[in-house]
Each structure stands twice: as C-alpha cells, then as structure tokens.
Amino acid sequence: MKLVSRSQWGARDYRLPNGATPYSRPRRGVKLHYLGTAYTDRAHDRCDDYVRQIQAQHMDGNGWSDIGYSFVVCTHGYVYEGRGLKRRNSANGNTTLNDQDYAVLLMVGSSGLTKPTTAQLDGARDAIEYCRKSGPAGTWLGGHRDGYATSCPGDAVYAWVKAGALRPTAPQEEDPMAGFTKQDIYDAVWKTDQVAAPDTAPDRKTNTNWQPQSYLKDIGNRVRSLTVTVAAQSAAIHALAEKVGSGVDTDTVVAAVEKAIADAVVKVDIDVTQNQES
C-alpha cells in the first residue's frame, strides 16, 4: 500500500479533545465516499494540495477538529492518512455511524472525473484491507448512502463497493509458452531419466519412473540385439546350405530365413506394445 502519512502530506494538527476521540468498539466495516463536487484529475504532485484543502474546509468551514475521513485515496492509488485507524472519523453522518464504520474517500467528483481510476480502485482496496487487518474492521462494505440520506459515494463507486470492492482486473497474462522454442518443448517432453546405458537400465516393469527416452533406448537395444542374432543365423544357414550342396535350394533357404526375420519383427512389435501397456 502506498500510504502517505499525515506528516508527509503536511496535515495540520487536529484539535483537542474531539480530534483524539477513539472508537468505542471494533468497526463493522468500511464506508466509501466521494467528493460530491466537480473534480478534475491532476498530476500527483498536486494531490496533497487537494487533501490539505479538504482538511481546511472541514476544520475551518465545518468547524470539525480534523479532516473527517479515515483515509483519502487519490486517482494515482496513494492512500493519505486522515484520522487513521484509531481516531473516530466524522464523515459518515452522525456519531453512531461514525463509530460504526471507517470512512474512506475516493477523490472522484459528482461531475468532471466521476469514475475512479484503476490505480484508485487498487488503492481503495489497499485501504480496506489495511483497515480490516490493522483496525480492526469487519468485512461489511458500503457507502455513505447506506443508512444516511446522501448520493455519496456516487453510483460508480457505490456499485463497485457493493460488488465486493474487488481489485480491478489484472492485465491479461502473457502467453505462458512464449519464449519456449520447439526444441525446449521437445526436450521437456522427451527428457531422459538419467539412465546412462540401456544395458544397465532397470527393467521397466519394476521402474515406474522411466521416461520416454529410456523406453526408446530399450526398444532400440532389443531391435539391435535381434538384428545381430538373425544376421548370424542367416550367415550360418548360408554356409550350411553350400556345404550340403545338391538337394538343397539355397534361395529357398534364404527366403525362409527372410520370412522368419519378418515374423520376428512383428513379434517384437507385439512385445513392445504389450510391455508399454502393462
């Protein structure tokens, strides 16, 4: 919260004894207010001038002992300390109402700037949470017009506070995948499980932590082993057929071996499928 203390905004001292009157009980919640006059937005370095002007109007015009509000929120989201958390405000209409809820002013007008800014709503939410946490104040939320005949805090602020005084919608988050290349995604999906060599890898049926890379290594290892075995058998059959000579057709033997290889590959596919599903 961007809290501006009384000394930081140049507040006048409040008058005693009324300015020091404490709350007699915990606050039910927070009531919001608006200026109720024309207001034009201004550069932030002029906001404290305006807060001092409000205090002067309340002390010199209304004859109050201090600025009436507990806190004042400017359009830039800064929260000015008025009577603060402990001293009873004088803005809610009468002593009972002042004692019941905190009074937070949003610096928007009944004409000119009438809709609070995003930063201001954030600041108002900050002030509400501060009152609840450090006041203490309960969860009740409303406006000056609740229980008192006034248009304050204006329709825009009133609608917002009665809807729960939610923080303004945060800016749309950026695409969470922005900045990742296809290679990053491939590496993340097909990451290894640090199994160095397929020969020493634990059996996948007993190691449920295997990553895709190890399944690929395992399959590759089985196919290579099968290929070497079939090639050796094929060579042996060639040599045998040539030794036997007449009566045995070498081409027929080779064709039979090739069919056996094809069948073996089909069987490997079935084994792999079954193992992956198990």
The answer to the question of residue 144 lying near Zn ion (CB under 5 A) is yes
The answer to the question of residue 4 lying near Zn ion (CB under 5 A) is no
Check residue 61 and report its DSSP letter.
I
Closer CB to Zn ion, 33 or 83, in the complex: 33
Closer CB to Zn ion, 88 or 144, in the complex: 144
Closer CB to Zn ion, 15 or 44, in the complex: 44
Closer CB to Zn ion, 1 or 201, in the complex: 1
Question: Which region among 10-18, 147-155, 193-201, 222-230 touches Zn ion (by CB under 5 A)?
Answer: 147-155
Min dist. Cβ of residue 14 to Zn ion (A): 19
Closer CB to Zn ion, 31 or 87, in the complex: 31
Provide the H-helix boundaries in 142-198: 154-162, 182-189
Task: Give the CA-trace dihedral at 144, 150, 151, 156, to 10 degrees.
Answer: 10
The answer to the question of residue 46 lying near Zn ion (CB under 5 A) is no
- Look up residue 18 and give its two tokens: 């009324």
Please give the distance of CA 116 from its chain centroid, rounded to a whole number.
24
Contact 33, 93 (CB under 8 A): no
Distances (CA, A) of 14 to 69, 106, 107, 185, 278: 13, 21, 21, 64, 79
The answer to the question of residue 157 lying near Zn ion (CB under 5 A) is no
Closer CB to Zn ion, 63 or 245, in the complex: 63
Which strand ranges, in their side-by-side order, compose the sheet holding 3-4? 3-4, 79-81, 71-73, 101-106, 27-33, 137-143
The answer to the question of residue 88 lying near Zn ion (CB under 5 A) is no
Of 68, 75, 76, the C-alpha closest to 11 is: 68
Min dist. Cβ of residue 170 to Zn ion (A): 21
Min dist. Cβ of residue 145 to Zn ion (A): 8
Min dist. Cβ of residue 173 to Zn ion (A): 28
Distances (CA, A) of 17 to 14, 120, 121, 196: 9, 33, 34, 81
| Number of residues engaging Zn ion in binding (CB under 5 A) | 7
Question: Which region among 114-122, 137-145, 186-194, 226-234 touches Zn ion (by CB under 5 A)?
Answer: 137-145
DSSP labels, 202-214: PPTTT-TT--HHH
- Which parts of 48-87 interact with Zn ion (CB under 5 A)? 74, 76
- Which parts of 185-204 interact with Zn ion (CB under 5 A)? none
> Can you tell me the distance from the alpha carbon of 62 to that of 90, in angstroms, rounded to the nearest whole number?
11
The answer to the question of residue 33 lying near Zn ion (CB under 5 A) is yes
Closer CB to Zn ion, 36 or 198, in the complex: 36
Binding residues for Zn ion, per CB under 5 A? 33, 44, 47, 74, 76, 144, 152
